[in-house]
Structures are given as C-alpha cells and as structure tokens.
Amino acid sequence: MAEFLELEYYKRWFRKVLDRLNESKWTQLVMLISILQAITIIILELRVYSRNNDIEQSLNTVGSITDELVLNATCVFQPAYVRLNNIRDENIIQWVEVKKWYIDFEEDCPGRLSLHTQFLKYDAPLISALLLFSIIMGFICFKLYQQFGWNIYKKIGADLSMQALNVYVVTISKLSGLKNLRYMPIQFYMFHLVITICVAINQLLAYRSVRKEWKVGMYFVFFIWSACILDFTILLYYSIGDATGSWYFFIIFIIFGIIMAATTLVWSIFVFSNFDTGLKDIIYKSHKKTEDGLLDESQYKRFSIEDD
C-alpha cells in the first residue's frame, strides 16, 4: 500500500507508458486519436449543451438535459485516461441523441411552445463525429490486436513459418468440419448453388417476360421456381432430420421460403394466363409519351361541361 505513495512508483509507471506508446506507430496513433476525439466531441457536446440550455429556460418540467450533457462531455476524458493506462482498451463513446424526445414533446403539447432544435446544425455533426471516430478506433484497435498478439507469440518462441503452417492447418480443419453440419451429400450442395444463382437471374427473366409477353421465358420462370421449391423441400428434409442439431429459426425460414416460392409460382401462372388479352397494352399505357417527352393526350378521354 505504501508503494503508491512513493515517487519512484509513478516514475516507473510513466516510463512504462512511454515505452508502450513508442512501441509502434499504431500505439502512438491511438493516443493521438484519443486526445483529438476528446477535444472534438467535447466541443460538439458544448454546442448541443448551449442549444439545450436555451430551450430548457422555458421548460421547467423537462428535467436535467443540460446536466446529462455536461456529464457526458466530462466522461469523454475517461477513455483517454484508460487508454493511457492500458492501450489495448477500445474507446467507444455511447451517446443517445434527444431528437425523438423533442418530437414527442411537440406532439403531446401542440401549440404550447415551438422547439427549434436545428438537428442538422447541432446534433448531426456530433453523431457524424462519433461515427467517424468509432470507425477509426475500430481499425486501430484491430491493428493493436495483431501487434499485441505477435508480441505474446514472440515470448513463446516466434517462428513465422510455423505460424503460417498453424494458421493453414486450423483453417483447413475448420473448413473440413463444415461438411458435417447438415449431413447432406455434396451433389445437393452443388444443386443448391446452381438454384441460388438461377433464382437471382430469374427475377430479371420474369420481369422481361411479363413486359414482352414472352411465353418461352415464362416457361423457364415456371421451371426455376419449381426447382426452387424442390430445393427448399430438400433443405427442410435435412434440417429436421436430426432433431438434436436442428436450427429452428432456419427451419421456419425455409418453410416461409417454400410458401413465398409457391405463391410466386401461382401468381406467375395467373399472369401468364392473361397474355394476349390486353395485359401488354395496360403495362405500356402509363409509359407512352410523345416525341417531346410529354404524355400522349390521345389515350385519355375528354369531356365537356356545359352550362344549363
């Protein structure tokens, strides 16, 4: 306990912090970004504080909006100190904006006061800054994770060739274990892959076939949707085959997919039955335009109003 009262203890702590900060460019950058983040966020928080303080003068029953913002701005210093003490900590500032509160207040008390929050001027810059710093700090923390992982690996005898070999072996072992997840033959995996690609193409094919009333294209649409229903059915069979290892959300998702695919197939048949009955004219009617880009007035009926 007496060690904390000695000056030498703080000297050792300070030297250790400097050594860690000078270890790499990422350790230096993370501290620099932390300080820049603290300054930027506090300035933006103070702008929001000033705005809310002006509003709160006429809202005695609102509560302590300004006090909460002061506390929030003050706490920005905490992650910087924590990172100085342990550079591996990630700085994520949680801030809940008050825009929804203002909207609800205006809806509950219409006409009693006018709240000019100026969201784009005050709140939007703060949210953007928080998002930007979160992305930057996330990237830097990933780099620090790699750096610290390598430092630990060096302590147990670093070997780049063995590290690459271990990564390769672990990756192959994990990938090889995927084939045992659903107990399905490899032929079905290939069939499922082909159907998945065809369903994506089928959307464009169906759209063009309906627009052009292309019957051959619609036959392909029927076939692909039928194959999709078969694919979902096989997936459902293998998913419920092993009750102990079943993923119930996935089963519900497959059942929903079967229902939607069957509904789409039936609706496609209904649309196909209306080919050559004026459906094409109805589709193109709203898109007819004259040469100058205006709607063709000849397709609309005119009527006159006569005074009695």
Binned at pLDDT 50, 70 and 90, residue 73 comes out as: low
Q: What residue has token string 């036959």?
A: 219
- Segment 38-66, tens digit of pLDDT: 899 888 888 888 877 776 665 554 455 55
**Over 60: is that where the pLDDT of 104 sits?**
no
176 vs 232 pLDDT, higher one: 232
CB 45 within 8 A of CB 75: no
pLDDT in tens, 263-290: 999 999 988 888 877 766 666 665 554 4
Among the listed residues 43, 55, 162, the one whose alpha carbon sits nearest the alpha carbon of residue 101: 55
Looking at the chain, the whole-number percentage of residues with pLDDT higher than 70 is 57
pTM above 0.75, yes or no: no
Say if CB 229 and CB 262 are below 8 A apart: yes
3-state secondary structure of 240: coil
Least confident of 106-110, 194-198, 248-252: 106-110
| Tokens at 256, concatenated | 């929903």
Nearest-angstrom CA–CA distance, 209 and 204: 9
Quick count: other Cβ atoms within 10 Å of Cβ 276? 9
The terminus-to-terminus CA distance of the chain in angstroms comes to 106
Q: What is the mean pLDDT of the chain?
A: 71
